[in-house]
Amino acid sequence: MSNRFTLYGNFRSGPTYRVGLMLSLCGEPFSYVHIDFAKGEHKHPDYLAKNRYGQVPCLYDGKHHFNQSASILQYLADATGKFGGKTPEERAYIREWMYWDFDRLTPGIFRTRVYARGIRKADAAVVDSYRADGEAGLAVLEGWLGKHAWLVGDGPTIADMHVYAAVHFAPDGGFDLSKYPGISAWAKRVEALPGYASCEAVLPKESRP
Ligand SMILES: N[C@@H](CCC(=O)N[C@@H](CS)C(=O)NCC(=O)O)C(=O)O
């Protein structure tokens, strides 16, 4: 029997990991299509028909293609009945964290990582500015996680998965997470969840039927 979901992504992509982590925590085996950036596969008309933004990730449920990692997480929470929040208020707080993450945390961490790994080049002032944004975002997150076990409510939600996928790559960008004890303890709680897997374990380097 074929899998219910197919994920289009790239193993170096934090937003792809976000979706792969959710599928793994939901216990949903998925088919995988590797999108090779070096070959420009993300800008090929066949792929643009699935993802108008020319980006990964993209999730296919056998009928529709869904894009933008935060939106895909919300779709998967609805489709599986897992990690979506119990009340309208919880769901609003979940969206709040995800929107904040993509505005204030993810850019600082992911762009700093891209410069640290030499994938892109920029002037030192630009690199420093993104690093400062990343540290500022981590400080806000620490302010919450120093006092709360989870981002929303009393258990893990897609807000935790969204933000965790950014934090997961922070050491790779040269951020020292030992400065943030609340974040470090929360990351361990996420990593102890049944079905948790690192980015390397979740995302194959090649397509998988
Ligand atoms: N807001 C998007 C961002 C996705 C994104 O930035 N994907 C990158 C890889 S990490 C990408 O596809 N880059 C290629 C491009 O933008 O041309 C999401 O959350 O899904």
Domain boundaries, the chain: 5-83+196-202, 88-191
Asked if pLDDT for residue 1 goes beyond 80, the answer is: no
CATH of region 5-83+196-202, choose from 3.40.50.10880, 1.10.510.10, 1.10.3980.10, 3.40.30.10: 3.40.30.10
pLDDT at position 199, please?
96
User: What single letter denotes the amino acid at residue 123?
Assistant: D
Burial-class residue 135 by CB neighbours within 10 Å (0-12, 13-18, 19+).
middle
For the chain, the C-alpha Rg in angstroms (whole number) is 17
Quote the tokens at residue 56. Answer: 């990964």
Best residue among 55, 98, 158 to mutate for probing ligand 1's pocket (most ligand atoms within 8 Å of CB) is 55
DSSP-assigned beta bridge partners for residue 7: 32, 59
Ligand 1 probe mutation, 56, 74, 98, 100, most atoms within 8 A of CB: 56
- Between CA 17 and CA 23 the distance in angstroms is 10
Q: Which residue, among 127, 138, 131, has the nearest Cα to 180 in the 3D structure?
A: 138
Compute, in angstroms, the gap from residue 124 CA to the centroid of ligand 1.
Answer: 23
Q: pLDDT tens for residues 97-155?
A: 999 999 999 999 999 999 998 888 999 999 999 999 999 999 999 999 999 999 999 99
- Pull the structure tokens for residue 133: 């944004």
Contact 138/180 with Cβ under 8 angstroms? yes
Ligand 1 neighbours, Cβ below 6 Å, are 13-15, 42, 54-57, 68-69
User: How far is 57 from 69, CA to CA, in rounded Å?
Assistant: 7
Residue nearest to atom 10 of ligand 1 (CA): 13
Predicted TM-score (pTM) of the model is 0.96
Which position has the token pair 């296919």? 60
Residue 86 half-sphere exposure toward CB, CA atoms < 13 A: 5
The SS3 call for residue 5 is: strand
State the Cα–Cα distance between residues 139 and 154, nearest whole angstrom. 22
Closest atom, ligand 1, to C-alpha of 10: 9
Q: Which residue has the higher pLDDT, 1 or 95?
A: 95
CA 53 / ligand 1 centre spacing (Å): 8
Closest CA to 18 of 61, 54, 67, 63: 67
Instruction: Encode pLDDT of 40-75 as tens digits.
Output: 999 999 999 999 999 999 999 999 999 999 999 999
How far apart CA 131 and CA 29 sit, in angstroms, is: 36
Query: For position 2, what pLDDT does the model report?
Result: 85
**Statement: 88-191 belongs to CATH 1.20.1050.10:** yes
